[in-house]
Amino acid sequence: AQSVSQHNHHVILSEAASLELGCNYSYGGTVNLFWYVQYPGQHLQLLLKYFSGDPLVKGIKGFEAEFIKSKFSFNLRKPSVQWSDTAEYFCAVSPPGTYKYIFGTGTRLKVLA
């Protein structure tokens, strides 16, 4: 069955530390990849997405993600986190042209001021 794994369930960092959240998926074909973020008290919103082309994708608020096809990974990165990045982050996968949309279990990030 298709699945998305986010291995880090909780991450605690100090401000200015670098961030990398892992996301691995199991699906043999082409996929579209997404990262969503849910800030405390707010609704889920799209952070960035990959459809094709450059495997390094830049999103909002200084986040980026790299698609590595050989590793079935789409890790999220930020060079220097801020207190305001405290949120829950979800990776998601969707095979193109289908209605299938598979979310990972999420990673809760806490950034200490």
Partner 1 sequence: DVKVTQSSRYLVKRTGEKVFLECVQDMDHENMFWYRQDPGLGLRLIYFSYDVKMKEKGDIPEGYSVSREKKERFSLILESASTNQTSMYLCASVTPPGTAFEQYFGPGTRLTVT
Min dist CB 17 to partner 1, Å, is 25
Min dist CB 20 to partner 1, Å, is 19
Q: Which residues contact 57 (CB under 8 A, 6 or more apart)?
A: 48, 49, 50, 64, 65, 66, 67
Which positions lie near partner 1, rule CB under 8 A? 9, 32, 34, 36, 42-46, 49, 51, 90, 94, 96-99, 101, 103-106
Query: Which residue, 13 or 44, has its beta carbon nearer to partner 1?
Result: 44
Alpha-carbon distance of 18 to 26, in angstroms, equals 27
- Say if strands 19-21 and 45-50 run parallel, antiparallel, or are unpaired: unpaired
Query: Which residue, 50 or 81, has its beta carbon nearer to partner 1?
Result: 50
Q: Which residues pair with 15 in a beta bridge?
A: none
Min dist CB 78 to partner 1, Å, is 21
